Chain A
Amino acid sequence: MNAHQQPTGSAYFITPETAKAENHTLSVLVSNEPGVLARVIGLFSGRGYNIESLTVSETEHEAHLSRITIVTRGTPAVLEQIKAQLERIVPVHRVVDLTVRAQSLGQERPIEREVALIKVVGSGEHRAETLRLADAFQAKVVDATVEHFILEITGKSSKIDQFVAILKPLGLIEICRTGIAAMNRGPQGM
């Protein structure tokens, strides 16, 4: 969110970072206990790391495990440090950099999907155009009156960005996005 150039709190980091910042998607498996999300995001804000997207939900009820997916931005050294810092948190079981894993499997990126709910209010030709676009983007109408639609769309963030941009002049008034859920391709588990 801020402090792109500050890899750690060290006062001696005055030399500008020459390495390029990259977006990486991390999967963090944590015990589902009170405060665990605060520990994870507190680490990011406290050490000046970026959060571009964050999703969290319980994934294994019996084992009390939740999975947090974080898209963060940093140089390779910073990304390595973020992973090590996350692993230091006591209720964190595993941290996998899905982007690094994908690259090691010869793929460009892991599978990354997002859900968005989009409310469009309008009349006349705008409504027809909205429905045509929804069809083209494979978005579903999940609620409607004569004045509005709520559309549900699933896909890559870039696809949703594009969909949102096109809907803007057609009466878009509200958006809710889930943030990214991600997984590596192939038969191996995390």
Chain B
Amino acid sequence: MTDSNNQMTGAEIVLRALKDNGVEHVFGYPGGAVLPIYDEIFQQDDIEHILVRHEQGAGHAAEGYARSTGKVGVMLVTSGPGATNAVTPLQDALMDSVPLVCLSGQVPTTLIGSDAFQECDTVGITRPCTKHNWLVKDVNELAGIIHEAFRIAQTGRPGPVVVDIPKDVQFATGTYTPLGETPVNKSYKPKMQGDLNAIQAAVELMASAKRPVLYTGGGVVNSGPEASRLLRELVELTNFPITSTLMGLGAYPASGKNWLGMLGMHGSYEANMAMHDCDVMVCIGARFDDRITGRLNAFSPNSRKIHVDIDPSSINKNVRVDIPILGDVGHVLEDMVRLWRALPKKPEKSQTQEWHESIDRWRARNSFAFKPSNDVIMPQHAIQRLYELSKGRETYVTTEVGQHQMWAAQFFGFEAPNRWMTSGGLGTMGYGLPAAIGVQVAHPDALVIDIAGDASIQMCIQEMSCAIQYNLPVKIFILNNQYMGMVRQWQQLLHGNRLSNSYTEAMPDFVKLAEAYGAIGMYCDDPKELDEKIEEMIAVKKPVIFDCRVANLANCFPMIPSGKAHNEMLLPDEATDEAVASAIDAKGRQLV
């Protein structure tokens, strides 16, 4: 660094601020407007830069890194197209509450507004897809803004932030302000502790419940491992059945006896029926998303609802609740567990006995059942085998978006939080491979599997090159049905089986594609060979693309058709062609 008394260039300030905020890895792609920062990266060893092949990949990799570690993910992109390519992962991180700091280069301040080469209004474009963003015009404010960016990204409801740094600010010399000595936005004060009176009322309501259910979400995972531990303790204490959104899988173990499976559009029958028929619903760190609620005016009509959330705007947004508790899930659960223990009279076991019997009956319906086959690999079977054969390892799973994602959520059991990375809110095809790369960077010795579809994987396939460069042995397990399966499923449901553009013509040879990148390519279309090949894939210490050919026309069930309620699920054994074609009425057709 140029000077010991905190005088340095903007580019040096960036590196110093990243280091002071505990950053070890940055995912990025260089370009004209960030060259001074790249020059500093070249001259130091504390922070490793992972070169992606497209800025979208940098963002998803940083998301995977963040969600598997609980740390902030960092991406670095150049101005103009670098910044616009970052928009998809920024919105993805916003919807799934992932802490992400995106540093972007900008044209020099003197050129801003002149339509300069690779100029775009980065703060304008990213304003609605970030929690907050900054354009830094004075090098002396740079350090403070980066520190504040990290604080805002990871506190409260986590989310993405952008710091846009013009090139002349990167070259200019200014003062580095150490962490903790910079001004903070006084208007930003997330509330961590829940209101004790509300929590007491919630605990009393829970104790009176005859048909309780816990409905948990990504907020539990985001709150940290302690929140998951407390959740398990609460389930143990109350013996309440528990379901989770797609984002919250792993916070409560899939092997736990109170586990109902995921809820929502492709959730289990028992989870959705429990949500519909319950008398007390305890929502913890979830947001009553439309994939979860189904038809709103038929959503859990007879329950009183408790909602724990750190974001006030999530409370009473889609569903009115009876007891809102504003605060961090971990803090609130701690109080909840304590107050439950302090109850003068715990509910008798008999109070919820009938409820547990109902749940057992729904469970016996076996709603994830599928017709096994000896001739073709059923996609559900492939996930089941992948799960069984990877048990006992430190396994992380990412997915792309579509049928394979839902099957992964249904059939892969997660025992711990931070092991499951998927694009839930935005539904970004192309998320899985770069996310897996980010996970593998953070956990070099773990088994990292991207469960993919043949269409999704092609959206960020270029990141194979990144995996090879950094020796990241990610396993891409493609459930290849040669369709955009979920698009096709909806066309069957809604559009008279007219499969408009959902069949993928000219599919690449994935084995050769893997080899072209320098990875291992594998192929399997025989159920009898599946186990052996999966074991071989797991054993390889290199990136693998596994082209798993599955039954082409399998569909994802059970399903709550659009516009229907939780108790109107379409179950796999009832889903005949006719039932599928007439499942959604005219009103439901308008929905997404």
The chain A residues found within 8 Å of chain B, CB to CB, are 8, 10-15, 30-31, 34-35, 38-39, 42, 46, 77, 80-81, 84-85, 87-88, 90-93
Q: Are A38 and B563 in contact (CB under 8 A)?
A: no
- 26 A-B pairs in the complex with CB atoms less than 8 angstroms apart: A8-B317, A10-B296, A11-B562, A11-B590, A12-B294, A12-B318, A12-B563, A12-B591, A14-B563, A14-B590, A15-B297, A34-B135, A35-B127, A35-B135, A38-B127, A77-B316, A77-B320, A81-B317, A84-B315, A84-B317, A87-B312, A88-B312, A90-B131, A91-B187, A93-B186, A93-B187
Note all chain A residues with C-beta closer than 8 A to B317.
Answer: 8, 81, 84
Q: Are B316 and A88 in contact (CB under 8 A)?
A: no
Per-position binary interface string of chain B over residues 296-323, scored 1 when its CB falls under 8 Å from any chain A CB and 0 otherwise: 1100000000000001110111101000
Note all chain B residues with C-beta closer than 8 A to A14.
Answer: 563, 587, 590-591
Per-position binary interface string of chain B over residues 127-147, scored 1 when its CB falls under 8 Å from any chain A CB and 0 otherwise: 110011001000000000000
The chain B residues found within 8 Å of chain A, CB to CB, are 123-124, 127-128, 131-132, 135, 152, 185-188, 290, 293-297, 311-313, 315-318, 320, 562-563, 587, 590-592
Which residue from A15, A38, A80, A87 sits with its C-beta under 8 Å from B124? A38
Which of chain A's residues has its CB closest to B297's CB? A15
Q: Known contacts A14-B587, A90-B132: does B293 contact A81 (CB below 8 Å)? A: no
Give the tally of cross-chain contacts (CB within 8 A). Answer: 66
A35 vs B164: C-alpha distance when bound (angstroms): 13
Which residue from A8, A80, A88 sits with its C-beta under 8 Å from B311? A88
Note all chain B residues with C-beta closer than 8 A to A80.
Answer: 316
A30 vs B587: C-alpha distance when bound (angstroms): 42
Which of chain A's residues has its CB closest to B152's CB? A90
B205 CB to closest chain A CB (Å) equals: 22
Q: Are A10 and B290 in contact (CB under 8 A)?
A: yes
Q: Nearest 4 pairs between A and B by C-beta?
A: A84-B313, A90-B132, A93-B187, A11-B591
A85 vs B364: C-alpha distance when bound (angstroms): 43
B79 CB to closest chain A CB (Å) equals: 18
A185 vs B188: C-alpha distance when bound (angstroms): 29
Q: Are A46 and B312 in contact (CB under 8 A)?
A: no
A80 vs B318: C-alpha distance when bound (angstroms): 12
Which residue from B123, B187, B296 sits with its C-beta under 8 Å from A15? B296
A45 CB to closest chain B CB (Å) equals: 9
A38 CB to closest chain B CB (Å) equals: 6
Which of chain A's residues has its CB closest to B156's CB? A88
A87 vs B290: C-alpha distance when bound (angstroms): 23
A88 vs B152: C-alpha distance when bound (angstroms): 12
